[in-house]
Structure 1
Amino acid sequence: MELSQLAVPSVYTLILFLGYPSQWLLMRLEPAPLTKNELIASNVVLVLILITYTKSVFVDPGNIPKDWAGAVGSADEKEQRNREREALGKSRKWCRKCEAAKPPRAHHCKQCKRCIPKMDHHCPWTNNCVSHTTFPHFLRFLFYTTAGLSLLQSFLFTRLHHLWLNRDMPSSLGPPLLLLSHLFVTLLANSLTLFALAILLIRNIWCLAVNTTTIEGWEIQRHRTLLRRARHFGGYLQSPDGQHIRIKKQEFPYDIGIFTNIAQGMGSWNPLSWLNPLAATPALQKGLVFETNGFEDEGTSWPPPDPDRAYRRHAKAVNVDAFTYEDSGLNTEDSVAAFRARQAEDAVRRRRPFIDRLEEKGARDEHRGGDGEGDDYAFGDDASDAEEEEPERSKYGDGEGEEGWRNSEGERLKDFGVDEDVEFYDEQEDEIPLSELIAKRQAALASASAYSYS
């Protein structure tokens, strides 16, 4: 049995341990047993915790249909066609494992083995993805658990304070050792759990207010790092195959106002339903296309350009000598093996660390030599950013490429459950099969024509 399969039973055990035995304990400690209202409040919150946790575990995080652009529904036919055109235009990612285009904000989860709509992260404690469909249940679970643990903490501190005030009394007049042991074990477990979940709740409320996921927070930090680097190279960074890519400050597109952000994330415009543990799960269709704030030009995609995600095709076709190359004498099986070997070599070349390429470039053209010109170069919209260049070497493991970059908390994409091999190297439009590109463009043209005649 895998450890991930033990996570959910362990959480249920912890909930029940802090819920019911603690009531038995509090009824037997001075200064007084729990009142009727305190018992009712404790059990109501406990039921809310169990309901919201169960939904966080068992609600499906979403399965993106391959024809997801056509699945974007709307009561108004013209609006639906507009949304389909927008979806098709912004679908620039291709998942080779799902063999389908990804909607905006979707990512391939290595645990769920599929692309998840508006994936936030894969939570090990629910053994489920926090996504467009499960985020409201997950946030309500954090809220009610933090409230319940805070209530229990206040009850425990009242009894602990009473014990402290009477610490000079003979031990025979105090509670037996079993109750004392139970009190301190409960206090320790409750305090640690409350601390961790309170931080997680605050973080998720912040993400909800600004409409970012945990993964997108990582991408925002990554973009800022690239901006700081690019200032030293006139606003450009080099990709593994030598292509110079302009790195320009780009605003996060999905922050559309606090109330709208919350309504979108919680799946309802009714504030009363945000705390309703029995609220309906948001419809999958609403997690396929998202409204943007319009700060960037139309057609600008998120995440921003990343040099190590870019892959330039050779100006000369690699198969120009397809019938005269050195492996022409090989049989079919050996030819495939040789092709796989060339692919592996190409992957190694693409994954070369930024620092290695930087030092190689510095040795070649002495970019950082002499008077150090360009060290404080700022460009474009980022000229006002006064952040100092941070040391990058410590953020990479030995032999890792840019996919090994870590944010300020030391996290990589894989720490959120993302399949890095899929996420980092197969998202460009030039990776989409030609047949899919043709079908996609034909659908966009047909939708545009139908809209123009309507």
Structure 2
Amino acid sequence: MEISSLNQIAVPGVYLLILFLGYPSQVLFCYLDPAPLTKNELYISNVVLVLIFITYTKSVFVDPGTIPKSHGQDDKEGRETAGVKRGDGLKRTKWCRKCDAAKPPRAHHCKECKRCIPKMDHHCPWTANCVSHTTFPHFLRFLFYTSCGLSWLEYLLWIRIAYLWENRNMPAYLGPNPFLVAHLFATTVINSITVFALGVLFIRNVWCLLVNTTTIEGWEIERHRTLIRRARHFGGILQSPDGTKVPIRKQEFPYDVGIWQNVKQGMGTGNPISWLNPLAATPSLNSGLAFPTNGFEDASLSWPPPDPDRSYRRPPPSTNATPFTFADSALSPQESLAAFRERQVADAVRRRRPFVQRAEAQLARDRDGDGIGDGYGDGMSEGESRSDDDEPHKGGRTGGEDDEGEEAWRNAEGERLKDFGVDEEVEFYDEQEDDHVPLGQLLARRRAAGTGTGTVTVTVD
């Protein structure tokens, strides 16, 4: 089921599930031995239920945030938060084509929310909302209280089940009627499945909090490791679809700044009492536009690391010294537009050609003597044309998806970017550093950096 269609029924369905597991079970226990719930047990059950309702409601209705229009402009603050400083004083800025605006680090374009979300973790279909910098604390508290509440309910259920089992030989008329037994069985099955799923999800999110990664960044880390394994076969260099050679080196994740600082940043406060407070304030949006780094890597490097398959087609080097070159100057405006569209389509097809196909084609050219001999063939024998994670039907990709290109790459759990609610078309190919930034923005940043006296050369092929 698509996320968009699931959103329409997910939130009401979750509320109904909470109600079903919370209140009818309390009535059920009144008719089951060994005894109805005590006063303290009723108090604990209902307090936890209230906490679950509050935290889930905040997970659903708190705004996941949006990127301010002023972010990334040519003012001093915008330049400091738009990306990572380079040696020339400028910043590498990620630009969202659909939002037509700069993106801060760790932001992604959500296909459901239709905008860029600061520090997007994923779009959760069960809350119909993005788990982001502003909603993550509420979401984690919801998982915590739900796991505790369902575990408490599981304990109460198994006390009654154990009592029934111990007295299974009694006459049927002395035991509960079939309706109560069916209700007990259904509640136990549903609760057991739910507490297991949410418990695993809670543990995973706690781990992400401790190491300061998001679900999407976990996917990017695994993708980076895949590229490193590929590059080992090719002398540390991979080729982009247009033939550009991209050096691949291991890059450490920059946002893990220590467990305590990670937790403070993720929960929006360093007060442990506030971590459990269901009415705690939502983290400030401004704190989600820039993040401290651990300094393990050079400041000029940004995250995610370079991925050859995300590269745009670069124009070929020109021997023409003319600053402006237009090869189709003799065409009419309509013909020029048609030619441009054709180049776009051809570029998209080439860009989406899967890595395995490109590598095998280069190896075939090298074996036939047609290759240049320093591309994919370097350091790789015929039997090493594929690593485990590059098999079309194993590891990184499943059968039938090769024509979709590298955006169809899957991690070890079989997940793609789109499975987290990310707009793949924007994130995989159009989230380029400085490549898609409008020329006016680049010139403004250059002037602001004090280097606007040079000559800008534009080549249009």
- Measured against the shorter chain, the TM-score band is 0.7 to 0.9
Relative to 1, partners in 2 of residues 1:444 and 1:123: Cα closer, same or farther, differing over 3 Å? farther
**Matched residue, 1:266:** 267
Question: Separation in 2 of the partners of 1:161 and 1:416?
Answer: 41
User: Are residue 401 (structure 1) and residue 432 (structure 2) matched?
Assistant: no
Q: After superposition, what is the alpha-carbon deviation per residue over 1:259-285, rounded to whole angstroms, capped at 9, x for unaligned?
A: 100010000011110111000000000
Counterpart amino acid of 1:36? K
Cα contact 1:18–1:190 (8 A) shared by 2: yes
Moved more, 235-244 or 431-440: 431-440
Q: After superposition, what is the alpha-carbon deviation per residue over 1:313-356, rounded to whole angstroms, capped at 9, x for unaligned?
A: 332399532313xxx1x4x4454233222211111111111011
The alignment yields a C-alpha RMSD, in angstroms, of 2.4
Question: Separation in 2 of the partners of 1:211 and 1:441?
Answer: 33
**Matched residue, 1:57:** 60
**Matched residue, 1:353:** 354
State the shift of 1:62 in Å. Answer: 0.3
Question: Separation in 1 of the partners of 2:345 and 2:307?
Answer: 21
Relative to 1, partners in 2 of residues 1:39 and 1:257: Cα closer, same or farther, differing over 3 Å? same
**Matched residue, 2:431:** 427
**Matched residue, 1:28:** 31
Question: Separation in 2 of the partners of 1:364 and 1:349?
Answer: 17
Q: After superposition, what is the alpha-carbon deviation per residue over 1:220-241, rounded to whole angstroms, capped at 9, x for unaligned?
A: 0000000000000000001000
Question: Separation in 2 of the partners of 1:191 and 1:299?
Answer: 49
Compute the TM-score of the two structures, normalised by the length of structure 1. 0.88
Matched pairs, number: 421
Compute the TM-score of the two structures, normalised by the length of structure 2. 0.86
Cα contact 2:107–2:116 (8 A) shared by 1: yes
Counterpart amino acid of 1:430? D
Relative to 1, partners in 2 of residues 1:150 and 1:406: Cα closer, same or farther, differing over 3 Å? same
**Matched residue, 2:444:** 439
State the shift of 1:393 in Å. Answer: 1.8
Q: After superposition, what is the alpha-carbon deviation per residue over 1:272-309, rounded to whole angstroms, capped at 9, x for unaligned?
A: 10111000000000000000000001121000010111
Question: Separation in 2 of the partners of 1:153 and 1:71?
Answer: 57
**Matched residue, 1:341:** 342
Counterpart amino acid of 1:4? N
**Matched residue, 1:450:** none
**Matched residue, 1:196:** 197
User: Are residue 19 (structure 1) and residue 22 (structure 2) matched?
Assistant: yes
Give 1:321's match in structure 2, choosing from 318, 327, 336.
327
Question: Separation in 2 of the partners of 1:348 and 1:101?
Answer: 27
Relative to 1, partners in 2 of residues 1:82 and 1:347: Cα closer, same or farther, differing over 3 Å? closer
**Matched residue, 1:415:** 419
User: Are residue 172 (structure 1) and residue 176 (structure 2) matched?
Assistant: no
Relative to 1, partners in 2 of residues 1:421 and 1:391: Cα closer, same or farther, differing over 3 Å? closer
Question: Separation in 1 of the partners of 2:237 and 2:6?
Answer: 45
Q: Which runs of 5+ in 2 are unaligned?
A: 382-386, 452-461
State the shift of 1:424 in Å. Answer: 1.1
State the shift of 1:443 in Å. Answer: 4.0
SS at match of 2:95: strand
Cα contact 2:71–2:81 (8 A) shared by 1: no
**Matched residue, 2:454:** none
Relative to 1, partners in 2 of residues 1:216 and 1:233: Cα closer, same or farther, differing over 3 Å? same
User: Are residue 362 (structure 1) and residue 368 (structure 2) matched?
Assistant: no
Question: Separation in 1 of the partners of 2:116 and 2:101?
Answer: 9
Q: Which runs of 5+ in 1 are unaligned?
A: 73-77, 377-387, 447-454
**Matched residue, 2:384:** none
Relative to 1, partners in 2 of residues 1:2 and 1:427: Cα closer, same or farther, differing over 3 Å? closer
SS at match of 2:222: helix
Q: After superposition, what is the alpha-carbon deviation per residue over 1:36-88, rounded to whole angstroms, capped at 9, x for unaligned?
A: 0000000000000000000000000001012125799xxxxx9x799558667
Q: After superposition, what is the alpha-carbon deviation per residue over 1:379-426, rounded to whole angstroms, capped at 9, x for unaligned?
A: xxxxxxxxx754432215131211111000000000000001100111
SS at match of 2:67: coil
Q: After superposition, what is the alpha-carbon deviation per residue over 1:12-44, rounded to whole angstroms, capped at 9, x for unaligned?
A: 000011011011111221001100000000000
Question: Separation in 2 of the partners of 1:141 and 1:257?
Answer: 24
Cα contact 2:60–2:128 (8 A) shared by 1: yes
Q: After superposition, what is the alpha-carbon deviation per residue over 1:90-139, rounded to whole angstroms, capped at 9, x for unaligned?
A: 55211010000110000000000000000000000000000000000000
Question: Separation in 2 of the partners of 1:107 and 1:189?
Answer: 34
Question: Separation in 2 of the partners of 1:434 and 1:3?
Answer: 40
Moved more, 434-443 or 297-306: 434-443
Question: Separation in 2 of the partners of 1:91 and 1:82?
Answer: 10
SS at match of 1:430: coil
State the shift of 1:439 in Å. Answer: 2.1
Give 1:42's match in structure 2, choosing from 32, 42, 45.
45
**Matched residue, 1:291:** 292
State the shift of 1:198 in Å. Answer: 0.4
Cα contact 2:123–2:129 (8 A) shared by 1: yes
Cα contact 1:90–1:301 (8 A) shared by 2: no
